[in-house]
């Protein structure tokens, strides 16, 4: 569904995306994982025609972002990281304008459907500036799904949401996948990537440093982690292939030791030496 | 471009405009500057001045309508576009929608024209109240529409080029404010020294003021009309180009 080949974008002297090559399959939930500034949002902006690539190729649904942008825009729905709703308009007005921009038929029904999907039907005529952050994120998701796009791009969909609302958001994303949509999510929430994504691309400093299923990535770096605080007070981790290996390693350490299963953050630390900011 | 592809762009601006319209601040800000000029120059200083056979008020009011249409068509578009692009990010939904850049341009320009015309109508109502000779002719209406179009297009250019909201004010201080004062709004431009006159004749508002006060089309007014059309076409083409080339 999506093919990126040596995709590069530079802002001044900063190479925000540096030669990224990857493919995303139809119906897949693909996660882009990385810290702030890793290039995830820039990559999304290029795939959604908002940012022009400097070099490389970017195809969505078989359409090139440069030469077939208009047709490509009919395939996609975008939930941006930064809230780009019109705060002075009502939820209904926001969706109405969006639907008209996307030439939707049965617009009133579609707007009602989108509001109902994200649980905002009872607030449809309230001005968006009166909404909580969580409600605004839900409205953004409803708007992205309203056109029934083949590919949905969700840039940090649950950023700033409390756990309960985050789980509601995840249910909506799962539903989109069940409806056959390809979903591309950027996140720096480990749990989100592990729970939702079929495959994860790990990004750091504009490059793709690993790409696989969450479980394969964990297996690659070690499925168990021995964690302890060293003599200087630093949290230290040792990756192990099996629980037996982890227990052997733990026995050699005198301090208080924890053994746990690895997660994508461990993968990220192992690959980059950096920690993801939560 | 599909029929009425520009309409949602225009509708969005009008919905926002409707919200602002019923706030006292909007009406006040649209009217306060021209009304101050009208009172200070027209009813105060101008009582003892005769211009071209009529009163100074007869001369001033069409100029204030031109100035007001310029200010409002330009400022609302430049400011809104700049904010929508850089701060609120709402411009993204146009760029990511399957509509042409030309449709975005048309929608934004028509919205700017509507705001400019609205402010102009307010000044015209004041004009009818204070001047018995104030008349609206076909040339007046055509010039007013052209002026709103031209400055809405310039607003697009500024809104697309500026890199911060403060830059919008800077552009306004450099180009719009001098035009308001030196383009024949307050005094006939044929009385200024020759070396300044050619600068004044470069400014589009000068030609708007010539046209909007004309009773008929003659050689000079036809030349002014041609200048305005060239400016309008140039700003429209450049604004459309900037929207087409937009990339974050």
What does the pLDDT look like over A163-186, one tens digit per residue? 888 888 899 899 989 999 999 999
Tell me, yes or no, whether A236 and A184 share the same domain: no
User: What domain range is A253 assigned to?
Assistant: 217-272
Same-domain pairing of A114 and A245: no
Question: What residues contact B234, with CB distance under 8 A and at least 6 apart?
Answer: none
- Lowest-pLDDT choice from A2-11, A237-246, B48-57, B195-204: B48-57
**Complex ipTM value:** 0.87
CATH number at residue A180: 3.40.50.300
Same domain for A88 and A226, yes or no, is no
Which value, in Å, is the radius of gyration of the alpha carbons in chain B? Answer: 18
**B2 domain residue, yes or no:** no
User: In the predicted model, what is the mean pLDDT of residues A260-276?
Assistant: 76
Subunit contact B96:A48, Cβ cutoff 8 A: yes
Same domain for A147 and A16: yes
Give the total number of structural domains in chain A.
2
Please indicate, yes or no, if residue B1 is contained in any of the structural domains: no
CA dist B232 and A74 (Å) reads 33
B91-124, pLDDT tens digit by residue? 999 999 999 999 999 999 999 999 999 989 988 8
Examine residue A153 and state whether it is found in any structural domain, yes or no: yes
Q: Tokens 């409600």 identify what position?
A: A135
What are the structure tokens assigned to B89, written together?
């990010």
Task: Assess whether pLDDT exceeds 60 at residue A148.
Answer: yes
A156/A42 same-domain check? yes
Q: Do A78 and B96 touch (CB under 8 A)?
A: yes
pTM of the model: 0.87
Q: Which structural domain, as residue segments, surrounds residue B223?
A: 7-244
The residues in B 42-101 lying below 8 A from A, measured between CB atoms, are 88-90, 92-100
Residue B239 is predicted with a pLDDT of 97
Hey, which residues does A59 pair with through a beta bridge? A3, A64
**pLDDT band with cut points at 50, 70 and 90 for residue A104:** very high
A244 shares a domain with A207: no
**Are residues A201 and A63 located together in one domain of the fold?**
yes
Pick the range with the lowest mean pLDDT from A78-87, A91-100, A202-211, B33-42. B33-42
pLDDT category of residue A278 using cuts at 50, 70 and 90: very low
Given a cut of 50, whether residue A32 has pLDDT beyond it is yes
What residues of chain B lie within 8 A of the CB of A45, using their CB?
Answer: 248
A85 with A167, same domain: the answer is yes
pLDDT at A231 over 80: no
Size of chain B, expressed as the number of residues it contains: 248
Cα–Cα distance, A197 to A68 (Å, whole number)? 28
User: Do A162 and A224 share a domain, yes or no?
Assistant: no
Point out the residue among A71, A74, A89 whose CB comes nearest to the CB of B16: A89
* Number of domains composing chain B: 1
A41 and A148 assigned to the same domain:
yes
Q: Among the three residues A177, A192, A213, which one is the final residue of a domain in this structure?
A: A213
Residues 6+ apart with CB under 8 A from B48: none
Residue A51 zone, left/alpha/beta (φ > 0; ψ -120 to 50; rest): beta
- A163 and A228 in a single domain? The answer is no
**Banded model confidence at residue A274, pLDDT cuts 50, 70, 90:** low
Name the residue in chain A with its Cα closest to that of B103: A101
Do A83 and B89 count as a contact with CB atoms less than 8 A apart? yes
pLDDT digits (tens, 9 = 90+) for A214-226: 888 888 878 888 8
- Together in a domain, A125 and A171: yes
pLDDT digits (tens, 9 = 90+) for B178-197: 898 888 888 888 878 888 88
Res B52: pLDDT:
65
Evaluate whether residue A233 is within a structural domain. yes
A105 lies in some domain: yes
- B100 CB neighbours in chain A (<8 A) are 70
Nearest chain A CA: its distance from B17 CA (Å): 10
Determine, yes or no, domain membership for A277: no
């Amino acid at each position: 569904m999506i093919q990126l080949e040596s995709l590069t974008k530079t802002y001044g002297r900063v190479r925000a995306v540096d030669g990224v090559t990857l493919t995303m399959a139809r119906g897949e939930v693909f996660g882009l994982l990385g810290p702030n500034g890793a290039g995830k949002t820039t990559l999304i902006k290029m795939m959604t025609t908002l940012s022009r690539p400097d070099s490389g190729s970017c195809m969505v649904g078989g359409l090139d972002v440069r030469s077939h942008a208009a047709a490509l825009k009919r395939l996609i729905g975008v939930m941006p990281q930064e809230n780009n709703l019109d705060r002075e308009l009502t939820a209904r007005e926001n969706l109405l304008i969006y639907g008209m921009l996307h030439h939707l038929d049965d617009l009133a029904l579609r707007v009602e459907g989108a509001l109902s999907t994200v649980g905002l039907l009872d607030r449809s005529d309230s001005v968006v500036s009166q909404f909580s952050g969580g409600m605004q994120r839900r409205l953004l998701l409803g708007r992205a799904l309203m056109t029934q796009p083949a590919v949905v791009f969700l840039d940090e969909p649950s950023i700033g949401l409390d756990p309960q609302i985050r789980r509601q958001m995840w249910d909506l994303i799962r539903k989109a996948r069940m409806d056959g949509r390809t979903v591309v999510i950027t996140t720096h929430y480990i749990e989100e990537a592990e729970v939702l994504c079929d495959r994860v691309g790990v990004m750091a400093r504009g490059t793709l440093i690993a790409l696989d299923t969450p479980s394969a990535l964990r297996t690659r770096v070690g499925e168990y982690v021995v964690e302890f605080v060293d003599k200087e007070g630093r949290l230290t981790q040792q990756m192990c292939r099996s629980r037996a290996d982890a227990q052997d390693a733990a026995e050699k350490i005198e301090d208080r030791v924890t053994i746990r299963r690895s997660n994508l953050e461990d993968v990220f630390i192992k690959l980059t030496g950096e920690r993801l900011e939560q | 471009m599909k029929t009425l592809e520009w309409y949602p762009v225009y509708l969005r601006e009008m919905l926002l405009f409707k919200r602002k319209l019923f706030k006292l601040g909007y009406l006040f800000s649209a009217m306060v500057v021209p009304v101050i000029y009208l009172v200070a120059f027209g009813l105060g200083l101008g009582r003892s001045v005769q211009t071209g056979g009529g009163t100074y008020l007869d001369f001033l009011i069409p100029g204030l309508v031109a100035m007001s249409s310029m200010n409002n068509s330009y400022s609302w578009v430049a400011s809104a576009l700049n904010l929508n692009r850089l701060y609120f990010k709402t411009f993204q939904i146009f760029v990511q929608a399957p509509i042409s850049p030309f449709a975005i341009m048309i929608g934004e320009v028509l919205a700017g024209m509507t705001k400019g015309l609205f402010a102009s109508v307010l000044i015209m109502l004041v004009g009818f109240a204070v001047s018995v000779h104030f008349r609206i002719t076909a040339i007046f209406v055509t010039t007013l529409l052209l002026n709103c179009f031209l400055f809405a297009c310039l607003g697009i250019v500024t809104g697309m080029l500026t890199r911060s909201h403060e830059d919008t004010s800077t552009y306004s201080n450099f180009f719009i404010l001098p035009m308001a004062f030196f383009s024949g709004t307050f005094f006939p431009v044929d009385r200024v020294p020759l070396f300044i006159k050619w600068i004044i004749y470069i400014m589009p508002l000068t030609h708007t003021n010539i046209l909007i006060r004309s009773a008929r089309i003659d050689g000079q007014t036809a030349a002014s009309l041609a200048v305005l059309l060239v400016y309008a076409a140039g700003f429209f083409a450049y604004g459309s180009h900037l929207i087409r080339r937009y990339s974050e």
